Chain A
């Protein structure tokens, strides 16, 4: 508790970290948005009265969904009449079902200095919530969101989809963590259980022996914790170090595994994200922007006293999947290690007595006593066999003597061999979960020695890399570059050493959103390899391995994520089109590989005809029917179809801009028929990928900005104004005139704001 009280003094530190990053993001686009924000304020004020009427109708239609735990619409409408700022919240409440609108309003509110309300509490339908959160995470909108930790816990199934059950689930998890903390993290200085116990005693049931063992393990963990994210100032704090050491120690003792280097890299971003969300919540409370009903809900969720428990639950859930890639409990080859390990296990009965004493203290509540006794029985049953084995080992040690430490005896050597054989048998019986879920192939036989990620990497190379880029696969095999030399670091840290922290959090958004036992990780791995494939094929052993071990930092993360999504589900996510793709095709032709030439010809034909064929496995094009079905799944509400159609019209215009640029540059002959085809297609996800990738690649490729570039950008700005004035479709001649236009990120956001204008018009028409 004292540690957490000191954390409250560091609020200013946390605030500076978070809001400075927000300022950096928005400083470049403040000028363009300040013009548009005034128009939005007018739109919001005009439509406020209509929104109130609409909310009353919604109350009449759905009376059953009103509950005391969640926000009720009646209270919402009453509070909105008294405050001018409540209009924005009400507006977001009614349109919260649309993800695109929501993100726009969040951006606008940051300009108006309003904090966004959590979209989760406003929706009772859980299926739309979960699918919408996945789209949030994939398109990178959680970077700005102040509720990232809540979204991660929903993805990891720590919090249920139903908002009303969050407090119950959190209460269970936090009580479980406090029980673990009391049982494992024992400090004899604070306890007065046994008067006979002495700090220098050598008995194995002594709490002091266990305490000194824990200090030794924590000293080992501290070596790595002190070297966590050295460039991030948040992790230079000693209080954070102590929290990390305690959480890592509790996890390793509870799971009965030894600490491995790399686990601290998994824990650190979770601390960072939760701390940012807690500081944002405290800032909102200080400003008194938040209404009282929402404060009551979030005060228990965003409670700093339970900081360690919330982080531990996320960490334990992630490590249960990542644990397969770490070496399991290692065999002890020294007698000294054996004694230490025995002490930890023998200490359990004393911990169980602690639990019994707690059960006696809570005798007033019968339910809690039952829960505590059940946990005690479970722990006794789980550890019963180990306890008796170690008791049998004690007799042997008494003959030898406690203080005498020899390296090996013959009998102990035999025991080690038997344990090793048992572990081999257990592993054959229990195959790796990772291979089952991530690949849709029959599981192959295990090798007898410990796999721990090695077989997983081999399967990625054999099943995925050989299929997508056999040239790179054969090249690495020829150079004898084993994937475990670089790949183990990638997957054990979930790409933590390869990317800066802000980009890493976006990758983890996608990994947790597609939470099928971390099914996204091998495709992200493959995407990173394919991105470097043209340069790796040229290089020899030394340059290849150096490049793979020190992944270049200039690569666009968004491209890698969208490429990985395409590799994961080719029918749902289109391949991100990029100047780089044509560059890679050009390079593959120069190598003179006939298969690649045939594939490229097929891809070019698909681009022209826009038809789908199942024969080609690398087909990147999707028909309009599939896109339409995908859109229907994401938005189940029938009322919003008209709005979606209006949005799609603008999306078509937007795609035509980006596609026309790419086609004119790369395929001058077939530019006109492809334009007509792509006007018909509705690609929702491609809009983001095209705009982001085209912007970022050009910034990488372009020389320092010249006067002609400035003139071109001003021209595009004028063209965007024309788009806002004319919402209808534009003719082919107008599209051809905009060949040389360059997409700028701020212009893309202007188009998003124009979506709001059109949606408000459509709602007025409906009313």
Chain B
């Protein structure tokens, strides 16, 4: 969703998805607050945080949405994915079933999110080198097949977390800037959302058009 706030120019919604226990909440807290909790509660429902990022001299506000890994339910997921311009798939390199379930999460993305969403694959907990069960080569190959970018991170040691989110936000920004209606020089112009978005519900798309105009 591209929305203009009163203070900041652009607002990007990015969703975090993956199995339960892979470290989604600590990735978010490391990126937004630079915090890591070994003792963290299970995420119930939806959690939410924001951070401002500078790209090409412009400030972009990123909304990072975090959800429960076990919760796969339409009542929440439809509201969760609505308006998302970026998605970060997370798996745990020390637990191979979290990597094998990525197909399921990609299918969910295709069903609920827009077609042109930017997807980043993250293999978390790369500090557990002695417990690695998913090879980097296998994950890289899978990412190429699916046409998404890939990076390995460690929320504990703060490895590549900042880089992963910044790369996702940068890719989103460049995709939007390629659109002809977007004028980079004039910051006052509100970019209209003419990108082709296919929504499962017609009513929601009608509402969105009304909001953007």
The residues of A with any CB-CB pair to B shorter than 8 Å are 220, 223-224, 227-231, 260-262, 264-265, 327, 330, 449-454, 480, 482, 484-486, 488-489, 492-493, 497, 540, 542, 545-546, 549
Contacts and interface: CB of A to CB of B under 8 A. Distances in A.
List of 9 A-B pairs having minimum Cβ-Cβ separation, nearest first: A230-B39, A489-B45, A454-B75, A489-B44, A488-B45, A223-B21, A224-B42, A261-B70, A327-B73
B42 A545 contact: no
A497 B41 contact: yes
Nearest to B43: A261
A450 B78 CA distance: 13
B86 to A, nearest CB: 16
Nearest to A482: B79
A542 to B, nearest CB: 5
B5 A227 contact: no
A223 B20 contact: yes
Contacts of B211: 480
Interface string B46-88: 1111100000000001010000101111111001000000000
B53 to A, nearest CB: 15
Nearest to A334: B104
A227 B42 contact: yes
- In terms of DSSP, what is the predominant structure of the interface of chain B? loop
B50 A452 contact: no
B75 A484 contact: yes
A450 B45 contact: no
B52 to A, nearest CB: 11
Contacts of A545: 48
B6 interface: yes
Contacts of A451: 75
Contact of B41 (A227, A488, A492, A549): A227
B141 to A, nearest CB: 21
B159 to A, nearest CB: 23
B73 A450 contact: yes
A264 B48 CA distance: 22
Interface in B78-111: 79
A449 B75 contact: yes
A230 B45 contact: no
7 contacts: A220-B20, A223-B21, A229-B41, A261-B44, A450-B73, A540-B5, A542-B63
A261 B25 CA distance: 15
Given A223-B20, A484-B76, A484-B79, A542 B45 contact: no
Contacts of A497: 41, 44
B46 A485 contact: yes
Contacts of A482: 79
A330 B20 CA distance: 17
A552 to B, nearest CB: 15
Nearest to B83: A480
Contact of B71 (A261, A449, A542): A261
B40 interface: yes
Given A220-B20, A451-B75, A540-B6, 16 more contacts: A223-B20, A223-B21, A223-B42, A227-B42, A260-B70, A260-B71, A261-B44, A327-B73, A330-B72, A449-B75, A454-B75, A482-B79, A488-B45, A488-B76, A489-B44, A542-B63
A498 to B, nearest CB: 11
A227 B75 contact: no
Contacts of B40: 227, 230
A261 B46 contact: no
Interface residues of B, number: 29
A227 B39 contact: yes
Nearest to B69: A261
Contacts of B68: 261
B24 to A, nearest CB: 13
Contacts of A480: 211
Contacts of B47: 549
Of listed B61, B71, B75, residue having the most chain A CB within 10 A: B75
Contacts of B46: 485-486, 489, 549
B76 A264 contact: no
Contacts, number: 81
A3 B48 CA distance: 40
Contacts of B79: 482, 484-485
Given A327-B73, A449-B75, A546-B50, A264 B42 contact: yes
Contacts of A220: 20
Contact of B44 (A449, A454, A493, A546): A493
Of listed A230, A260, A261, A327, residue having the most chain B CB within 10 A: A261
B107 to A, nearest CB: 9
Contacts of B6: 540
A40 B42 CA distance: 50
Contacts of A260: 70-71
A546 B49 CA distance: 7
B72 to A, nearest CB: 8
B105 to A, nearest CB: 13
A540 B68 CA distance: 25
A486 B6 CA distance: 24
A260 B70 CA distance: 7
Nearest to B75: A454
Given A223-B20, A231-B39, A492 B45 contact: yes
Contacts of A484: 45, 75-76, 79
Contact of B45 (A224, A449, A486): A486
A261 B75 CA distance: 16
A452 B73 contact: yes
A546 B68 CA distance: 17
B41 A261 contact: no
Contact of B48 (A261, A262, A454, A546): A546
A545 B21 CA distance: 24
A549 B49 CA distance: 10
Contacts of A489: 44-46
Nearest to B72: A330
Of listed B37, B46, B211, residue having the most chain A CB within 10 A: B46
B180 to A, nearest CB: 28
A366 to B, nearest CB: 47
A231 B68 CA distance: 21
A485 B45 contact: yes
B67 to A, nearest CB: 10
Of listed A224, A228, A265, residue having the most chain B CB within 10 A: A224
B148 to A, nearest CB: 21
Contacts of B45: 484-486, 488-489, 492
A488 B74 CA distance: 13
A495 B105 CA distance: 29
A136 to B, nearest CB: 31
B20 A450 contact: no
Nearest to A447: B75
Nearest to B45: A489
A239 B163 CA distance: 41
Contacts of A230: 37, 39-41
A24 B20 CA distance: 38
A745 B6 CA distance: 46
A573 B98 CA distance: 52
A453 B76 CA distance: 11
Nearest to B49: A546
Contacts of B50: 542, 546
